[in-house]
Structure 1
Amino acid sequence: MTSGSGMALSIPRSPADVTPQWLQTVLQAEISSVDVTPIGTGQTGATYRIAVGYASEHPELPATFAIKLSSQDDAVRERVALGYRSEHAFYADVAGLVRIPIPQHFYCDISSDGGDFVLLLADMAPAVQGDQIGGCSSAEAALGVKALAGLHGPTWCDPRWVDFPGLAMSLTTDDAIKGLGDIAVMATQITLERLGTRMSAEDRDTTTEAMSMVAQWLLADRDRFSLMHGDYRLDNMLFDPDRTRVTVVDWQTLGVGLPARDLAYFTGTSLLPAARASSDEDLVSTYYAELLSYGIADYDRETCWRDYRVGMLQVPLLSVLGCAFAISTERGDDMMLVMLERGCQAIRDLGSLELVRAL
């Protein structure tokens, strides 16, 4: 259905604003009742399940929806407004052009300042969220890498995305890249101060060295790019109960860059090190074969494998940025530690730092 901004219809500020009248206008269906209940903890947004009572039969519409609103905390709303803009831009301008599996969306709108946001989706229950700390199986990882090709393939090296206004983090200039490199070094220091005593000396050294190379790493390989999810990991995936299908959510970190950074970040954070080491080659081959189905040319399997190894620095980069600039919680700290441990081991197993030094 409709996905746009600047409409006369008001954007719900809280679940109390999701009334039968509001939903009736959005769905163009007569609604007799709505029941709104929270889903999850809502750290950067507030997500709810809506059970709908229809005044007449509407077989084309589901009985339940998921609705995502901006955070109920004003400070958080202001801090993540760029993320709301990114998610709105994805559903408004990108979702119809890519093939990555996402929930059906019925409505998306955002205020001019980015602070008020609404996204109405099909309820994916009984699908369940991936477990970032527990990890996933190699079979589940294969679902994730095949799905990822559905984002990268349709946007591969298309120049229109380089300056796409919906990007949460635009790194199109050398100065912006060098600035992120400086931030990564600072974020590493903050992370080690907070979590360093719980990390091995080897992981501390790997993290520090990898983050000292961020600018050099991002300035290389700029001839291969696509849209990136930016935070492609288990917490942002919903798996069907039989684990035969995955749906990808949370598009608040949309970016452009070396596609294999998404791929490496996913495998490096989602699989236990032994499972990842034994599955690396097969998962890259699965991703590469799926990518070729979108007509990608002039990209061979050897280069894809090399990009995967280089891309593994995405794990400590997002982990230290998240640790340094997100609100500290017990689960959040535990998750960052697990991600850093897995990512650092992958970097060492794959010789990623040696490759980046040679860029």
Structure 2
Amino acid sequence: MDGTRTAPRLLDTLAEIDGDWLESVLHAAGHSARVREFAIQPIGAGNVSDTARIVLTTDGDAPASIVAKFRPSTASSHAHGVGSGAYSIEAGAYRLFAAATDGCRIPRILWLAGTDDNINLVMEDLSRVTRAGDQVAGCGVEDARRVITQFARLHRTFWPLASKDAPPWAIRMPSAGDYWVPVLESAVSQVAQRFADLLPDRHIALVAEAATVSRAWHDLRHPAMTITHGDPRVDNVLFDDDAGEAILIDWQVAGVRNPMHDVGYFLSGSVSIEDRRTSERELLDLYADEFGATRGYVMNRIVDDYRIQLISGLMTTAAAVALLPDAPPVNRLLLALLERNCAAVEDWGSIAAIRRRM
């Protein structure tokens, strides 16, 4: 391969991928190889991105497969990506983590380029050594321990971080509220209609009540914050059983927030109601130990923040009802999340706690 090869051009769709582009990506990642054949295998439903595994046949030093993540091809999903800043946020997050010497485990990035309305993200393919999380089924307590450990490592790496000192791409909750609060408010009636026969009346009412405190919740002030994942559902996690680790993926809503945003979001949506009730105190203890009390984030603060921040899951799930199609696979996912989210918010009296904090 020519050592003077130019950087990969920014593509719009997976269909534009060709051998020359793949060779330039491999070269940028330090691999000398000529691509003889390749096959593109779509991954996922394409709700927030078009993602594919690319199986390679090469001459030279190169991985057998890679994963490419591009902007979604559907107009509505792309409009959401542009409106929410998802492309620049994810690109900024991966660049930040590449510069960090410690922190959570993420996939190795081979190539990354992006703008406000596009992204080309090429990563190592971990499918042969990991298993993906299943959002509808949820995860067990042992997997939850692995995820909570990664959260603590992520959060402590950038703690404490004031909003004014955070990277410009990082979501700030008050400005995020300008986008998400109207979406959540519009979703209230859709939740009631779509899940009328599937959710109890008190949970449908809870969604409506959550919408009434959404603006205030987004505007809450916190003494110290950190970089957070923002959307840590278990289907945004890979599990490396040999290493006993979780790997966090999909950073499209990374931002500067209270650390318990991630912990509450995950435990309220990705762990069964029974397992959460039985194990969440143990998992909060694990988080505190891994984070390190000497850093100033101690257990009583963690519990107080958790009570308020776990509503992050319900806020996001309910808003998603307004953004995602009314289709059986989507509704199974949303229902699983809503059932768990509502139970957690009830258990912890989160809405009342937010009103007190207001």
TM-score by length of structure 1 reads 0.87
Residue aligned with 1:203, SS: helix
Distance in 2 (alpha carbons) for counterparts of 1:232 and 1:184: 19
Question: What is the Cα deviation at residue 8 of structure 1?
Answer: 5.9
Contact persistence 2:22–2:35 (CA under 8 A): no
RMSD over aligned CA atoms reads 2.3
Residue aligned with 2:195, SS: helix
Residue aligned with 1:198, SS: coil
Counterpart for residue 104 of structure 1: 108
**1:203–1:79 CA distance, 2 compared to 1 (3 A):** closer
Contact persistence 2:162–2:225 (CA under 8 A): no
Contact persistence 2:161–2:224 (CA under 8 A): no
Counterpart for residue 130 of structure 1: 133
Counterpart for residue 356 of structure 1: 354
Query: What amino acid sits opposite 1:258 in the alignment?
Result: N
Distance in 2 (alpha carbons) for counterparts of 1:246 and 1:339: 20
Identity of aligned residues (%): 24
Alignment: residue pair count: 343
Contact persistence 2:146–2:245 (CA under 8 A): yes
Residue aligned with 1:145, SS: helix
Q: Which runs of 5+ in 1 are unaligned?
A: 1-6
1:194-249 deviations in Å (ceiling 9; x for gaps):
22332101212222223312223333342231122111011101123568221111
1:48 corresponds, among 52, 67, 70, to 52
Contact persistence 1:211–1:316 (CA under 8 A): no
Counterpart for residue 118 of structure 1: 120
Question: What is the Cα deviation at residue 165 of structure 1?
Answer: 2.6
Contact persistence 1:155–1:161 (CA under 8 A): no
Distance in 2 (alpha carbons) for counterparts of 1:160 and 1:71: 30
Is structure 2 residue 152 aligned with structure 1 residue 149? yes
Residue aligned with 1:324, SS: helix
Q: Which runs of 5+ in 2 are unaligned?
A: 1-5
1:33-79 deviations in Å (ceiling 9; x for gaps):
223222222222111112223323x2xx4221111122233443333
Contact persistence 1:156–1:225 (CA under 8 A): yes
Counterpart for residue 200 of structure 1: 200
Identify which range, 322-331 or 10-19, moves more after superposition. Answer: 10-19
Question: What is the Cα deviation at residue 335 of structure 1?
Answer: 1.6
Contact persistence 1:221–1:258 (CA under 8 A): no
**1:243–1:322 CA distance, 2 compared to 1 (3 A):** farther
Distance in 2 (alpha carbons) for counterparts of 1:39 and 1:213: 36
Counterpart for residue 74 of structure 2: 73
Distance in 2 (alpha carbons) for counterparts of 1:314 and 1:78: 23
Question: What is the Cα deviation at residue 274 of structure 1?
Answer: 1.1
Residue aligned with 2:42, SS: strand
Is structure 2 residue 22 aligned with structure 1 residue 18? no
1:240-284 deviations in Å (ceiling 9; x for gaps):
356822111111111222110110110111111111001010010
Distance in 1 (alpha carbons) for counterparts of 2:179 and 2:33: 52
Counterpart for residue 86 of structure 1: 89
1:151-208 deviations in Å (ceiling 9; x for gaps):
21112222367553323x43346xx647754543332233223223321012122222
**1:18–1:186 CA distance, 2 compared to 1 (3 A):** closer
Contact persistence 2:69–2:121 (CA under 8 A): yes
Residue aligned with 1:212, SS: helix
1:324 corresponds, among 322, 325, 330, to 322
Contact persistence 1:146–1:287 (CA under 8 A): yes
Counterpart for residue 4 of structure 1: none
Query: What amino acid sits opposite 1:141 in the alignment?
Result: A
Distance in 1 (alpha carbons) for counterparts of 2:136 and 2:164: 33
Identify which range, 215-224 or 83-92, moves more after superposition. Answer: 215-224
Counterpart for residue 261 of structure 2: 261
What stretches of structure 1 move > 6 A for 4+ residues in a row?
none
Question: What is the Cα deviation at residue 336 of structure 1?
Answer: 1.5
Question: What is the Cα deviation at residue 348 of structure 1?
Answer: 1.8
TM-score by length of structure 2 reads 0.88
Contact persistence 1:181–1:212 (CA under 8 A): no
Query: What amino acid sits opposite 1:339 in the alignment?
Result: L
Contact persistence 2:47–2:324 (CA under 8 A): no
Distance in 1 (alpha carbons) for counterparts of 2:164 and 2:247: 23
Contact persistence 1:31–1:52 (CA under 8 A): no
Distance in 1 (alpha carbons) for counterparts of 2:188 and 2:154: 30
Residue aligned with 2:110, SS: strand
Counterpart for residue 209 of structure 2: 209
Counterpart for residue 3 of structure 2: none
**1:180–1:52 CA distance, 2 compared to 1 (3 A):** closer
Query: What amino acid sits opposite 1:121 in the alignment?
Result: M
